[in-house]
Structure 1
Amino acid sequence: MSGVVRRAPELPAWPQYSDEERSGLIRALEQGQWWRMGGSEVDSFEREFADYHGADYALAVTNGTHALELALQVLGVGPGTEVIVPAFTFISSSQAAQRLGAVAVPVDVDLDTYCIDPAAAAAAVTPRTKAIMPVHMAGQVSDMDALAKLSADTGVPLIQDAAHAHGAQWQGRKVGELGSVAAFSFQNGKLMTAGEGGAVTFPDSELHEIAFLRHSCGRPRTDRRYFHQTSGSNFRLNEFSASVLRAQLGRLAGQIDTREQRWPVLADALAAIPGVVPQTRDERCDRNPHYMAMFRLPGFSEQRRNAFVDALVERGLPAFAAFRAIYRSNGFWETGAPAESIDDIARRCPNTEALSADGVWLHHRTLLGTEEQMHEVAAVVADTLAAQ
């Protein structure tokens, strides 16, 4: 019927919870100790999270930004050092380094996967480079083969920003099995959540022990006389959050299975719409948890893309504009910025410039819908695009 606006289907809500979370919260309450040094929920969650990701150790922290900051610190990042980060990412990736007094060096990303370009990262390495931070964008694992070689060739360690990549795999290996430190987020929109929270996984006990000290004000577990062995801060996760995260972890695998089944359906339907280009999958990423359903509208300006996203939201889709290039936010320039202008960085980051202007993403709860709903979502995108 003429004039009827197609509405989005009723998609699953997020966060999801059930009696498992309720039971966990009561369990944490009734144990009588509500912080990690006296309770058991954080310790249990750390073991379970490490096991799920194939890591030797995990440390739960207050949020994903602190996870990155702590991971960088234990790798020696601080004043006088540089950290290579993708220009297309949430700004915590750079600010975690900048808060430590380091310089964040943005490099371009691949226009198909939206992950860091290993060649661009290689070109940015200097004697001051202390870490290279691939971001597993929307659950698509970065090219860890090329990055591992770069790390081996230069001696610069990797730190995986896995805020989007809970449960991801690269050629059969889980994130914790890739030989480098990885940082995760449990913010409200993430693939598993307690509202806030984060975790760092480690490949060895030495780094884990250093991180434990620094996340607890430099104080050893058994200290009773205030002998703080290092500087640090209070990044400790509380017992209530850990109890919720244990329940969230228990349903993660099933949710990933569903999203893995739905994304090909939605991606094909989106690709059939003229002018829509979905994020490409590197098949070496053989388990993608799909934190976002991402696509581009090549040729759109930022203003036109923003209007399109607003129209999708009005029709009921959980749609968002893609990340702004980190160097195009004022916060990036407050401290720890490279000695370049915005235009200088933009010239060497053309793919980031494009994604920042024409990228769109749908919340991962979209991919928890039915197969029929994937076609309905694509139809809403098509109708909205036709009305622009």
Structure 2
Amino acid sequence: MNDRVEQLLADLPRWPRYGDEERTNLVRALDQGQWWRMGGSEVDSFEREFADRHGAPYALAVTNGTHALELALQVLGVDQGSEVIVPAFTFISSSQAAQRLGAVAVPVDVDPETYCLDPEAAAAAVTPRTKAIMPVHMAGHFADMDALGKVSADTGVPLIQDAAHAHGAEWEGRKAGELGSIAAFSFQNGKLMTAGEGGAVTFPDEASYQEAFLRHSCGRPATDRRYFHQTSGSNFRMNEFSAAVLRAQLGRLDEQIATREQRAPLLAGLLAEIPGVVPQRRDERVNVNPHYMQMFRIPGISEENRNALVDRLVARGVPAFIAFRAIYRSDGFWEYAAPAETVEQVAARCPVTEAINADCVWVHHRSLLGTEEQMHAIAQVVAEEVART
């Protein structure tokens, strides 16, 4: 590798990004003298700002993205014996959030180009026990919300958007909170906004928000002084320091999205010129893609060779990762509340996920905050290493 390429990759932006805004906000939270949401103001302020940014009437900040999904599912009535349709290709929290409630997670296949939930496969999986359909906006790219909305309307099964990757995304000019369904977000350390951990749920109506508030605070109303717990629940409350950091992170989100929206098409175009490399396709109905990851496939590569390729990319300075393992190919998926099928039976009806499980690579979104020259450097190294595969 020539010295210039090596230096360009070494100088890629770090993650998380932070500055004086986070420091100022943390001191402000500290000086309140009240560090939990019932006594301070940072969580309340962040919820209003996050809801406004995502076009939602209400937002509730919680401890992490997994809890955001679990809480959202509980508000929709998901419980033991229910079924929840989830993409077979996703992070396992999508299924585990349902399984923790005793619901059976039903994996269905994804689109081969966008890697998002296949609406036809979702429709075919609906049964009288289905309580929710959970599309994941993979790598910031919206699932087909038109087709999935029709499935929901035809079956009466509500959608819940797993928007862990989709901060600031837009579908046909509408944000996640404007699509009429609950959406759950993550602020884990690698996400587009982060406080190390954290999550949020947006709601289209007050009733679902109020129920969620109770359940995220052990079933206790905000004004209760007599320990009158109106519902079951748990402690999913966000602390004031996390909210203070996230307010600063939200403040720089749009600028970062604008940069990634410039760099991602360039890098995708360069990757598409490499023989054997197929980048994630963008649906023209996606107005804004925040680009959680730059994803691409190498159809026909073995999982072993894909893994070795990623190791070589990392060794050369490209922040690459293997894509998510198919959820049904992790032992944790089968521990409880799993479908009455074998791994191979699920795999047989999820051929796209099976392929992605072996051939998909992603490059961390921090790279897309770099320069155009750095995009060329990434593509050059990918081309050289794919040629060696």
Between the two proteins, the alignment pairs up a number of residues equal to 387
Whole-angstrom CA distance in 1 between matches of 2:261 and 2:3: 32
Residue 298 of structure 2 corresponds to residue 297 of structure 1: yes
Whole-angstrom CA distance in 2 between matches of 1:161 and 1:6: 37
1:116 matched to which residue of 2?
Answer: 117
Amino acid at match of 1:204: D
Write out per-residue CA displacement over residues 184-235 of structure 1, whole angstroms, 9 at most, x where no aligned residue.
Answer: 0000000000000000000000000000000000000110010000000000
Amino acid at match of 1:169: E
Asked if 2 retains the 8 angstrom alpha-carbon contact of 1:367 and 1:374, the reply is: yes
Write out per-residue CA displacement over residues 236-256 of structure 1, whole angstroms, 9 at most, x where no aligned residue.
Answer: 000000000000000000000
The offset of 1:387, in angstroms, is 2.5
Asked if 2 retains the 8 angstrom alpha-carbon contact of 1:6 and 1:315, the reply is: no
Under a length normalisation based on structure 2, what TM-score does the superposition of the two structures give? 0.98
Amino acid at match of 1:27: R
1:237-256 matches, cutoff 5 A: 237-256=238-257
Asked if 2 retains the 8 angstrom alpha-carbon contact of 1:217 and 1:231, the reply is: yes
Whole-angstrom CA distance in 2 between matches of 1:335 and 1:5: 51
Whole-angstrom CA distance in 2 between matches of 1:383 and 1:9: 18
Whole-angstrom CA distance in 1 between matches of 2:284 and 2:247: 30
2:274 matched to which residue of 1?
Answer: 273
Q: Residue 259 of structure 1 aligns to a residue in which SS?
A: helix
The offset of 1:97, in angstroms, is 0.0
1:139 matched to which residue of 2?
Answer: 140
1:47 matched to which residue of 2?
Answer: 48
Q: Residue 324 of structure 1 aligns to a residue in which SS?
A: coil
1:127 matched to which residue of 2?
Answer: 128
Q: Any gaps of 5 or more consecutive residues in structure 2? A: none
CA RMSD of aligned residues (A): 1.1
Write out per-residue CA displacement over residues 304-332 of structure 1, whole angstroms, 9 at most, x where no aligned residue.
Answer: 00000000000011110010000000000
Whole-angstrom CA distance in 1 between matches of 2:210 and 2:4: 57
1:77 matched to which residue of 2?
Answer: 78
Instruction: Go from structure 1 to structure 2 and tell me whether the alpha carbon gap of 1:379 and 1:57 turns closer, same or farther (over 3 Å shift).
Output: same
Asked if 2 retains the 8 angstrom alpha-carbon contact of 1:54 and 1:175, the reply is: yes
2:328 matched to which residue of 1?
Answer: 327
Asked if 1 retains the 8 angstrom alpha-carbon contact of 2:5 and 2:377, the reply is: no
Q: Residue 284 of structure 2 aligns to a residue in which SS?
A: coil
Amino acid at match of 2:269: D
The offset of 1:385, in angstroms, is 1.5
Residue 30 of structure 2 corresponds to residue 29 of structure 1: yes
Amino acid at match of 2:379: A
2:376 matched to which residue of 1?
Answer: 375
2:167 matched to which residue of 1?
Answer: 166
Under a length normalisation based on structure 1, what TM-score does the superposition of the two structures give? 0.98
2:262 matched to which residue of 1?
Answer: 261
The offset of 1:5, in angstroms, is 11
Whole-angstrom CA distance in 1 between matches of 2:22 and 2:3: 41
Write out per-residue CA displacement over residues 63-120 of structure 1, whole angstroms, 9 at most, x where no aligned residue.
Answer: 0000000000000001010000000000000000000000000000000000000000
Asked if 2 retains the 8 angstrom alpha-carbon contact of 1:9 and 1:377, the reply is: no
